[in-house]
Amino acid sequence: MDPAGEPHVPSFMQEYELPFYAAVALAGLAFAAVDFADRPFPWLRRFLPLPITAGLLGALALLLPRGFGFPVRMPHDGVEVDFLIALLTTNMGLHLTPRVLRNGLPVFGLFLVAGFCLYWLMLLAALPLALLTDHPLETAVMTGPLAYVGAPYNLNPPTQVPPALADLLRPAYADPQATAHGMMMLGIILGPLLASWSGRRFFRKAGKEPPQPPAQDEKTPSIAVSVFGQRMTHLIVLILALIALAFSIQALLLAIMPSFSEDILPVIVISYLLGGLSRLTFERVAGPDRFPEAALTVLLLGPTMSFVLTYAIMSIPLHQITLVTPLMAASGLLAILTSAAFAWAVFPIFARVVDRYYGAVIAMVLIAVTTGWGPVAMSFLRRSTDERGEVEPMPAILPLNAFFLFPWMVILTSEFVLSTLGSA
């Protein structure tokens, strides 16, 4: 025991945070390794999007030093991480067009309503087994809808299990955040497999298969290199300027409203809104179909999304899955199966609002975002709709932006449930 009466933790067991650039390099190595393995083993990408496989491989690699008494973790907050994620969200915002908004807003509202209904269904599905524990309500929340709240950093605002909700869960769990991360990793392992299996059947019902991964020699668009390079340079400058502006706006808002925090005003949301505003302004001034969509998608959004999602999945400590008891795992599995069954039920509704193909895309994304966390759904959307760089104004882009709002919905609803019904 130390002088304060706390258990002494040996120095060799303290957790070390990797330097940010070393973590980026590690994520890049994991991504490159899986991308290279795709050539002799193409079935890898057929069943799971590359960022999911690469992220899990990287998370597994981070377990090796832990076995030798040198536990390490990826950086999950700070300006560097926010900048990395802002590269992705700014790209996403730049895909918003009047046509996307017009076609996608009805589906976006329906997607949010579906997520809210699914919250209660997952809670009820987890409750029977949770009743076998000393704290059934807390366990049902933790193993059901809370499993898809977000990340240990601000990729999904707010930070997973904020203090108010953690205090409500602490009677049942000494470290609610770590336990929630374990449940999240369980979802990231099982949810994508279920989403992939269901997705293939959704597309069969739709009568149209998603585009297959292109061959290695087909990944460069048929645009003159000089023109493409010029467009890409302009886009990079625009994106960097928007990210810098987003950090400035965040600093100004926090100075004006000191009661708020960076979790409530995350720079990634501001950068996304700036990207959307810039694209909508460009469409209005220059006219439709004048934006360099291919440059944005093929050389910016695609690789940026894949790499950032690999980093995001790697950042969840895989060892925390050991905090998940067999009873919690079974309860979580029931919640995951509920998500899949619900997606099958609402698939005809999505298909009626848009069409059967995009209905299949959105139903698959609903499984992925509510079982394996927002980045997993983004991986599936990337593979299913624009892997060849052919991004048409699709209604599937906008519903995916629910990953900004789902965490707030889950956290606030969970706080309401626990504070209203109390500890069992």
Say yes or no to pLDDT of 6 above 70: no
Say yes or no to pLDDT of 340 above 70: yes
Mean pLDDT of 280-296: 81
**pLDDT for 269:** 87
Distance CA 168, CA 325 (A): 20
| DSSP-derived secondary structure letter, 156 | S
Percent above pLDDT 70 for the chain: 80
**pLDDT for 128:** 92
Nearest to 347 by CA among 128, 135, 199, 126: 199
Q: Are 294 and 269 in contact (CB under 8 A)?
A: no
The residues pairing with 72 across neighbouring beta strands, listed in sequence order, are 16
67-90 pLDDT, tens digit per residue, is 888 888 888 878 888 898 888 889
**pLDDT for 149:** 56
Amino acid at 138: E
CB within 8 A of 109, min separation 6: which ones? none
Nearest to 153 by CA among 161, 145, 141, 144: 161
Say yes or no to pLDDT of 214 above 70: no
**pLDDT for 3:** 43
Nearest to 378 by CA among 360, 398, 358, 405: 398
- Reading phi first (left if > 0) and then psi (alpha if -120 to 50, else beta), residue 78 is in left
- Tokens encoding 31: 């991504």
| Residue with the larger pLDDT of the pair 34 and 244 | 244
Distance CA 237, CA 223 (A): 20
Say yes or no to pLDDT of 120 above 70: yes
* First CA to last CA distance, the chain: 34
248-287 pLDDT, tens digit per residue, is 999 999 899 888 777 777 888 899 999 999 999 988 888 8
Say yes or no to pLDDT of 30 above 60: yes
**pLDDT for 205:** 87
Mean pLDDT of 8-34: 79
Amino acid at 116: F
pLDDT-derived band at 391 (thresholds 50, 70, 90) equals very low
Q: Which residues of 184-202 are buried (b: 16+ CB within 10 A; e: fewer)?
A: bbbbbbbbbebbbebbeeb
Distance CA 413, CA 419 (A): 10
Q: Are 311 and 24 in contact (CB under 8 A)?
A: yes
Q: Are 114 and 121 in contact (CB under 8 A)?
A: no
**pLDDT for 261:** 76
78-81 contacts at long range (C-beta below 8 A, 24 or more positions apart): 78/20, 79/247, 80/20, 81/20, 81/153, 81/154
Helices (H), 170-224: 176-206
The residue written with tokens 């991308």 in the block is 35
CB atoms within 10 A of CB 397: 25
Distance CA 424, CA 412 (A): 19
**pLDDT for 393:** 47
218-242 pLDDT, tens digit per residue, is 444 455 555 556 667 888 888 999 9
179-195 pLDDT, tens digit per residue, is 888 888 888 888 888 88
Mean pLDDT of 361-376: 82
pLDDT-derived band at 5 (thresholds 50, 70, 90) equals very low
- Tokens encoding 401: 């932006």
Say yes or no to pLDDT of 138 above 80: yes
**pLDDT for 338:** 93
